[in-house]
A and B are shown apart, each in its own frame.
Chain A
Amino acid sequence: MTRLAALAFLAFGLAAPACAQPADPAQPAEPPSAAAATAANVRVFEVPEGSRPHDVAPAPDGKIWYTGQRRGTLGILDPETGAVREVALGEGSAPHGVIQGPDGAAWITDSGLNAIVRVDPATDAVRVWRLPDEFPDSNLNTAAFDGRGRIWFTGQAGVYGRLDPATGAMQVWRDPDGRGPYGIAATPSGDIYYVSLAGSHLARVDLDTGAATIIEPPTERQGARRVWADSRGRLWVSEWNSGQLSRYDPETGEWRAWMPPGAAPRTYAVYVDDRDIVWISDFAGNATLAFDPATERWTRYAGSGENAQVRQILGAPGRIYLPESGLDRIMVVRTDDTP
């Protein structure tokens, strides 16, 4: 089940600059097009059947972690060999998010266990911090570390929280709008922002008090699903309902938005790589798109099969990881010139 799958996938479309759209719900008269991605820089790996890999993260040794949401596992893929190893997270586990912590460990938001889970990369030891009893079924979603070594997390049932691994202290707060907290991200300076899918808002948390300040995007009911920060601390937001990719600048308060190519896109994941290229996934188009803010051009990477359903994107310098949750595969896009 850990074999290396075939690689090349041809994308299509014509190279053309995309037009920047103002933060306005109106659709452009003619959707922008996307440049074709080259097949040579794409590899696809299979993971155990039924894994439904939801999120991915770079492991410290060049391997790739993924959450096997349906199997209750942390998967560890070696992209050099295609081999996969699994760490069982416990009875009832249904892991959603995974990130690498400052300690080099895998930190997981586990909605099945209703807990934050740490997996030691050297020993595979699993440690679990459950949410307080007054927050059952929080539908834990995603996590990010601030600049002080604490992990912040979202729960789609309407909560967000903070765990200090050094002390074990955990605090959980309710989102001012209720259900919906989904993606969360840290800026280069260590500030924490999250978005609410059902609430259609961005929020900044006060790192001391935990209070959330809601920042309303200009497009109503846009369905802000995930968020990521670029090198300047600007927040990029994937808007599931409107289909837009939007950007908020905390320094100026300015919003901008771009409509990806394709008919009625459903923009799910967003990630900003080490070159400040912005990657999004589009469920409607069954593709991942790379957006260059400098040129406003898009490059399209087709899913490796029908309904690939890339629900999250992360990477390492020169590599982009795309978990194809609908296909039990992980696509790796090489963005540098190394083999």
Chain B
Amino acid sequence: MRALAPLALAAAAAGAGCAAAPAAESVAAGGRLYARCHACHALEPGRSTPAGPTLHRIVGRAVAAEPGFAYSPALRALAAAQPRWTPALLDAFLADPDAVAPGHYMGFHGLDDPAERRALIDWLRADRSGAP
């Protein structure tokens, strides 16, 4: 996977389970990483596409519960076992979606770099209520 060099220090400083506000650099790097998700996932509420559910407020949201989206059996099974997208669950899923939800339909095989995953989660968690 492509590395985002400036991001490693920021993510290391933030710590994996830390509740402190994420570094601005990490959030910005997460925004660049989201470009890889954009093709299938919108951010606006109610804007799921046939390719993927919206990621609006995904951190803390119920798993496989976006109205109107046809989730795979794998994601429905994950929801039964782990009902919420906690940061820890998102991190594990982004690291190895095949391990967390075997048989999922996504054309995405994971982000190897923990700093990249942290940045993406920070960015998804950031308040973007004013975003289009």
Interface residues in chain A, defined as those with a beta carbon under 8 Å from any beta carbon in chain B: 52, 54, 69-70, 92, 96, 112, 136-137, 139, 155-158, 179-180, 197-198, 200, 221-223, 240-241, 266, 283, 306-307, 309, 311, 326
Contact = CB atoms under 8 A, between A and B. Distances in A.
10 contacts: A69-B109, A70-B109, A179-B42, A180-B39, A180-B51, A197-B49, A222-B50, A266-B70, A283-B105, A311-B107
Nearest to A71: B109
B109 A198 contact: no
Interface of B: 1-2, 35-36, 38-40, 42, 49-51, 70, 72, 74, 98, 102-103, 105, 107, 109
Chief secondary structure at chain B's binding surface:
loop
Given A283-B105, A311-B107, A137 B36 contact: yes
Contacts of B72: 283
Contacts of B40: 156, 179, 197-198
A155 B38 CA distance: 11
Given A92-B1, A198-B50, A241-B50, A52 B39 contact: no
Contact of B103 (A54, A157, A241, A326): A326
Closest 10 CB pairs of A and B: A223-B50, A156-B39, A137-B35, A198-B49, A307-B103, A241-B50, A139-B39, A92-B2, A157-B39, A197-B51
Contacts of A156: 39-40, 51
Contacts, number: 65
A295 B107 CA distance: 34
B70 A52 contact: no
Nearest to B3: A92
Given A92-B2, A179-B39, 14 more contacts: A69-B109, A92-B1, A157-B39, A179-B40, A180-B39, A180-B49, A197-B51, A198-B39, A198-B50, A222-B50, A223-B51, A283-B105, A307-B102, A311-B107
